[in-house]
Structure 1
């Protein structure tokens, strides 16, 4: 469906993608302007529609594009031999935050899609999310040792709590990290600070949900 676009030089593809991500990360689907996208990408509207057919197709292409980047990074770097859910989430958190340095508009766009209400795209987003969640859930939690949890602990609720803590800490550092993408030293210091804070919370949670906290 997007073969003409994919036949472009990678640099030209990225320019159009980044221009579209910028617009859709600032505005919701209905108010986002294709005129601003083509102006920033320095192409004509006819060319944009030649590549994607419609604003809706462009939006859904972007969503699949950014989620694929994230999932590919997780799949290639996540240590599935690690049975500790805390260490697994620590890896995921670091992978996600390091991606900000290369794709700082990626997560802004994703956050917008989570709260998108436009009927033109919401059902497609929900359907794609369901498929994505099922596959990523199996990957992320494959090989986790649930025997580490106390017998009286609801492991699903415990894992949800770990995820909420991870997401909350990540979000508090995202804006600072994005502001320092061109300053490697400051970016790495912030990343280290974020991971240290996450580790402190993980140690606290381990005392609540694990039989043995020395892992």
Structure 2
């Protein structure tokens, strides 16, 4: 990526980023065009290629950008600052919701990127996402261990089940196009009560 992209005024940079998220979130990688992104951003295609040498470079930049935004939101909401697993899950949902309000297409883009099969980007995307997921797993097991869960529970299986359920729930909500944080929290609390019954040694 051309360093001059970082020298652009913040507003112009944001316009290009938002436009790229919008186009990629609505199309598969193969069908998303640099022309469409340039048109949405209000710049020429040649200028977009000046900032990013090709579509792959722009796409991978967006993946990293989305990961960094998510990491910042998680930190802002103190997701890892509690030793209560279910409070951690609540904070994580709030963090993702806050991010979706600022970047409405970022969730859909991230899901599409995770499942993207185009050989030009698949390997690189999975490598970036795998690193983030590994860090999250390590923090999870370091924070919660096994002491609070039933002895017959396989903690790793539980972790993946909850992680997939959380992402699936958020994906379904974001697909609707409108974010009602209050309602999402109420619905998510139903899931939390279920997990408490299933996984904890003692539950009231």
Q: TM-score, normalised by structure 2?
A: 0.91
What RMSD over aligned residues (CA atoms) do the two structures have, in Å? Answer: 1.8
Name structure 1 gaps, 5 residues minimum.
Answer: 180-186
Question: Are 1:208 and 2:198 matched, yes or no?
Answer: yes
**Contact map agreement 1:89 1:163 (CA 8 A) in 2:** no
Name structure 2 gaps, 5 residues minimum.
Answer: none
Where 2:143 maps in the other structure, the secondary structure is coil
- Aligned CA distance change for structure 1 residues 27 and 35 (closer, same or farther; 3 Å): same
Structure 2 counterparts to residues 43-122 of structure 1, below 5 A: 43-122=43-122
Q: TM-score, normalised by structure 1?
A: 0.86
Q: What's the counterpart of residue 153 of structure 1?
A: 153
Shift of 1:141: 4.4
Q: In the comparison of the two structures, how many residue pairs are matched?
A: 204
**Contact map agreement 1:80 1:142 (CA 8 A) in 2:** no
**Contact map agreement 2:114 2:129 (CA 8 A) in 1:** no
**Contact map agreement 2:100 2:107 (CA 8 A) in 1:** yes
**Contact map agreement 1:71 1:136 (CA 8 A) in 2:** no
Over residues 162-209 of structure 1, what are the superposed CA-to-partner deviations in whole Å (9 max), with x where a residue is unaligned?
A: 223323332332234x33xxxxxxx5xx32222122212211221221
Q: What's the counterpart of residue 12 of structure 2?
A: 12
Moved over 3 A (4+): 139-142
**Contact map agreement 1:82 1:144 (CA 8 A) in 2:** no
